[in-house]
Amino acid sequence: MWIAQLPEESTRPLNPRPAVVPQPGRHRRPMTAPKTQKDKASKRKKVLLTVLAVVVLLGVLATAGYFIKQLIDSKYFFCKRSVKFIPLDKACDGKDDCTGGEDEITCVSSFKVNTTFPVRLMSGKSVLQVYSPGSGWRSVCSDNWTEKHTQTACKQLGYTYKPRSTSVPVNTLKVTMKTGPFTAVKPATTTTPIHQATIDRHVCRSGSVVSLSCSDCGQVGSQDRIVGGTDAFIEDWPWQVSLQQGGQHTCGGSLVSLRWVVTAAHCFTGSKKELTRWRVVSGKTYMASLGGSYVDRIVVNGDYDPSRNDYDIALMRLSSPIGVGVSRKPVCLPPKAFDLAADASMVVTGWGYLSEQGTVSPSLQKAHIPLIGQAKCSSPTVYGSAITQRMICAGFLEGKVDACQGDSGGPLVHFTSSRWHLVGVVSWGVGCARERRPGVYSKVEEMLNWINTVIEKNP
């Protein structure tokens, strides 16, 4: 008996495909539900919070770094070449403490003038005068005078902004100037320095002399702490600046050109002689330490006597000229022989102490005070022999209104002929607003020769 043999069940597919070799890293993507708007918003929120946290952290670090740098800068000078710090009082001490003498390069300098600056403006009429050793001072006649001569003369005086001149009849001059001596420019001398371009005259053929106005200085759009003063606006006193060291207001100052500031010599004593520490903040009514101008030259009068505060004047040169505007504008330097009467009205401005033992004012202050005659101020009951020819006094003998600490170097100004003139620089006094102890100011008129010479030698 035979038994039929059934074929075994085959597991081989009818249409075999090539075997798939598993490859590492390749996986089937899991099936997930699509993200909802809520999930996306949550993710964006996390990213924003992370970014915000990073920004805040960087801000904190930057602020901390700034204050740490300010603290270090207030105590030490960094020598870049030798990569080391030295105490700040060793900078500008006359000894090289850094490699290559870095610490003695950017320092306050001293300059003593022993020559006569050959060009000046005389009297309230701003009559142009020139000087030569043989002939002395002579008023310049209007004969042959041109606009080019005006530009040349103003450039010599340190001004180049809107120079202009007028003719003043000789018979209207003060008695001491009516009879000369006179001089006049020679033909074809428009670019020659004015004092070298003239020839002496007994009389002016034109019957008039040259009056010079070299800029729009001392003009404001409209029209005290200073102890007993009132609030002021920088637009009315646009020459007022704050001299700051390490971000701290130290002294006041006055713009006398687009690049030069007049202040007091005593502002640069002790460890305040290193230039890179200083900034000049202009155009601000409220005290601020941001946006100040860098300084590349500070020159102290070489005759300055700290023991007597005599010749207490200095000049600062800004690294670049300021932009003129309603809140930034130079004050006029006074002419020689300004002849201000005792009791003439003055204005002193600044951010100084509000009282003798007080603090610096956050906003600019002004005070109207009268000039005090030299005889009265140097009398035994006031300051006696402490007052020199380079000083003037202003204020009230009964006290109450006065400049104070922090006002040093700032302006004492007088308004005449539609302009404000820098008559004095805040210098010293006994206390603030004390009876029979008025403020003492450096007399700018006596320092004109020094100011003009320094500006000419440091163009």
- Residues catalogued as catalytic: 266, 312, 408
Q: For residues 272 and 328, is the Cβ–Cβ distance under 8 A?
A: no
| Tokens 């870095």, located at residue | 102
Query: Among candidates 413, 439, 414, which has minimal Cα distance to 427?
Result: 439
CA-nearest of 108, 104, 77, 426 to 246 is: 77
- The DSSP code for 360 is B
What's the CA gap between 179 and 292, in Å, rounded?
A: 50
H or E stretch covering 100: none
Residues of the chain by 3-state class (helix, strand, coil), percent to 5: 20, 30, 50
Q: What φ, ψ does residue 185 adopt, rounded to 5°?
A: -75, 145
274 DSSP 8-state letter: B
How many Å apart are CA 273 and CA 410, to the nearest integer? 19
**CB under 8 Å to 57, separation ≥6 — which residues?**
none
The helix (run of H) or strand (run of E) holding residue 459 is: none
Any idea which residue has 């870049």 for tokens? 80
By CB atoms closer than 10 A (0-12, 13-18, 19+), residue 397 is middle
The total of other beta-carbon atoms located within 10 Å of residue 123's CB is 19
Amino acid identity for residue 276 in this structure: T
CA-to-CA distance for 162 and 362, rounded, in angstroms? 35
Specify the amino acid at residue 56. V
Compute the distance between CA of residue 152 and CA of residue 163 in angstroms, rounded to an integer: 9
Q: How far apart (Å, rounded) are the C-alpha atoms in residues 48 and 88? A: 45
Compute the Cα dihedral for 130, 455, 422, 385 and give only its sign. negative
Nearest CA-CA partner of 170 in 184, 156, 150: 184
Taking the C-alpha atoms of residue 178 and residue 183, their distance in angstroms, rounded to an integer, is: 13
Q: Is 198 exposed, middle or buried (0-12, 13-18, 19+ CB in 10 A)?
A: buried
d(CA 156, CA 118): 9
Closest CA to 408 of 250, 186, 255, 301: 250
